[in-house]
Amino acid sequence: MPESRFLSAVKEVPATDLMKVALGEAEADLAIVNGDVVNVYTGEVLAGNTVLIKGNKVAYLGQNTRGSIGSSTRVIDATGKTVVPGFIDGHTHIDWFIPPDELIRYAMKGGTTTIITEIPGIAFPLGYRGVVEFIRAVRNQPIKTFVTAPAMVTMSPVSREHALTVDEVRKLLRRPEVIALGESYWVPVVKGDQRIMRLINEAKKAGKKIDGHGAGAKDNKLQAYAALGVTSCHESTTAEEVLERLRLGMHVFIREGEIRGELAEIARIKDEKIDFRLMALATDGPGPWQLLNNGYMDFIVQKAIDLGFNPVLAIQMASLNTAQRFGLDDFIGGIAPGKYADILVIPDLTTIRAEYVISNGEVVARNGQLTIEPRNHTFPKWMLHSVHLPRDFAADDFTVRVDSDCRQVRARVMDMVTDLLSRESIVELVVSNGEVLPDSSRDIIKVAAIERSYQSGKSFVGFIRGLGLKSGAIATTTAWDTSDLLVVGADGEDMALAVNRIRELSGGVVVCAGGKVLAEIALPIGGLFCLDPMATIVEKLNRIQRAAADLGCISPDIRLTVSVLSTAAIPFLRICEAGMVDLKTNQLVGLMVD
């Protein structure tokens, strides 16, 4: 892993300058004095140690600092404090809702100094140049962000047609900031999806890691997935699943984020007398509420400790273990000479609250307040205009018609089992003048997917059960794994209004009812994220959630529930602009059943 991947706005300290500080022949720029240092390499806590920093790196860790602390040295007295490496989020998605600089701001506050993120969100609507622009947005920031090359498993024919080509993925994999091939859901992979096979091969050729997504896979199927060279998974929901993966040499990220939090369930693995070096922590998307109210990796490490994990192990799972997984351990993941100075000072070993956050040798936050600001990235205009609907929509666009003059049909509906999982159910629906009617009394409303990026104009309208929505409509451009706009609604007029409002906003989430927009958030960048501050985002999302709840919606997070209707990652029945897809067979299935 070449060091050039860390090229950033921060000037690289000459190695000989580090050496001089270590030798006591030059003064350190920063000294964290007399702390109890968590040594993630040995698993020890070393009392009364001083960390000397020159430029962006650590020069020395120990007690013999003669000659290297002087008038030009900023001294942080860490007496009685604990000093730990900056945290790494080993698997996340930061390309939705929150602008990158705002997310980085929240990472910095709490001591997350490296982020490894998926970016399929940006890749679906904006393609290769969107991905490259996103990389530009997260480079040269006070903390480090690496991305994975989007594998883009999708059920959508339009998205498949416009997905990154193998050549484009190859080009991405050659970039230093692209650290791995991103998650490929295991089912299509194990079915032998040719495109993914080629991408995996490219990742191997480029010497990059291959991240996995083995939700529910076990034994032979999980091993088939691993045999392809997939070396991580962040989808374990139980200690047993974690153990099975570790035994296969897979790196396991225990997830605790806005979509799912499995740490509490998995925590009992702590009592196993095994080697945990392949186990780490990740958010899989921290989410605006979590960031605003709880924190980022600091919150998760604290939670792990509160759940009974050995504190040093909890810290290793957010530092060295992740660094090793990505081959970054020569550079980050621990406090030692020659490594980047990404360091936190916390009150004590079991209180993960950063009094100082040092990133690249610089104090970037104190007691939760930033001392420097992330760079604001100006996104190019074309990224602000990613919603390309050929025309305004009308209620009639959401009418489902049948040719026959029957009075009733049997229809396949997306039947929500939880706020995320769905199954296929067959229901009888009344037909009136050739129009198949939803039935709010049975909680059956409309759902539509409209391709919104490539001017294809393709759309599909079907039925969904179990959302609780009694009236109005909710639409979003934050659809997972497609470039579709998704809309659910009890009323065709409101569905059209929501879609048209999104068209005006160039992307976002909109809740309408009675011909009015009740709540909305504009997400102009790729239809994925905004440029608002975190508190505003949370406020707008809260309004959206309240409005949806007022309309009867039972989902605890309606923007998420709607967004995932198009994902190939969550079983079983999903939707795209071409129709409904049964993930068990990965085939499009008809709306009407004979």
Q: By the criterion CB under 8 A, which residues form the site for its own copies?
A: 1-4, 15-16, 18-24, 39-44, 46, 57-62, 64, 190, 192, 197, 200-201, 204-207, 209, 219-221, 223-231, 243, 246-250, 274-275, 277-278, 316, 324, 327, 329-330, 334, 336-339
Q: Count Cβ atoms within 10 A of the Cβ of residue 19 and give its class: 0-12 exposed, 13-18 middle, 19 or more buried.
A: middle
Smallest gap, in angstroms, from Cβ of residue 368 to its own copies?
A: 29
Instruction: Give least dist CB 233 to its own copies, A.
Output: 13
Cβ proximity to its own copies, 88 vs 103, nearer residue:
88
* Minimal distance, residue 135 CB to its own copies, in Å: 19
Q: Which helix (H) or strand (E) holds 488?
A: strand 484-489
Residue 446's DSSP bridge partners are 463, 489
Residue 234 CB, shortest distance to its own copies, in Å, is 17
Return d(Cα 570, Cα 580) in angstroms, integer: 14
Query: What's the closest the beta carbon of residue 284 comes to its own copies, in angstroms?
Result: 22
Candidates 429, 482, 481; CA nearest to 452 is: 482
Based on CB atoms, which residue is closest to its own copies, 325 or 446? 325
Shortest Å, Cβ 571 to its own copies: 19
Look at residues 552, 546, 583, 537 and name the one whose alpha carbon lies nearest to residue 490.
552
- Least separation, in Å, of the C-beta of 190 and its own copies? 7
d(CA 206, CA 203): 5
Residue 480 carries which DSSP code?
T
User: In the structure encoding, which two tokens stand for residue 1, read together?
Assistant: 């892993």
Of 479, 497, 501, 481, nearest in space to 489 by CA: 497
Nearer of residues 134 and 146 to its own copies, judged by Cβ: 146
Q: Give the DSSP per-residue string, 523-557.
A: -TBTTTB-S--HHHHHHHHHHHHHHHHHTT---SS
Strand boundaries in 339-458, DSSP class E: 343-346, 356-359, 362-366, 369-370, 400-401, 408-416, 422-432, 435-436, 444-451
Quote the least distance from Cβ 230 to its own copies, whole Å.
Answer: 8
Q: Identify the residue whose tokens are 């945290």.
A: 87
Task: Pick between residue 57 and residue 540 the one whose CB is nearest to its own copies.
Answer: 57
Q: State which residue, 91 or 452, has the beta carbon closest to its own copies.
A: 91
Q: What is the DSSP string of 139-151?
A: SSSSSEEEEEE--
| Residue nearer to its own copies on the CB measure, 207 or 434 | 207
Least separation in angstroms between CB 582 and its own copies:
20
Q: Which is nearer to its own copies, 243 or 549 (CB)?
A: 243
Paired tokens of 135: 């990389």
The token duo for 178 is: 């692209």
Judged by beta carbon, residue 186 or residue 463, the one nearer its own copies is: 186
Buried b / exposed e across 421-450, counting CB within 10 Å, b at 16+? Answer: ebebbebebebeeeebbbeeeebbbbbbbb
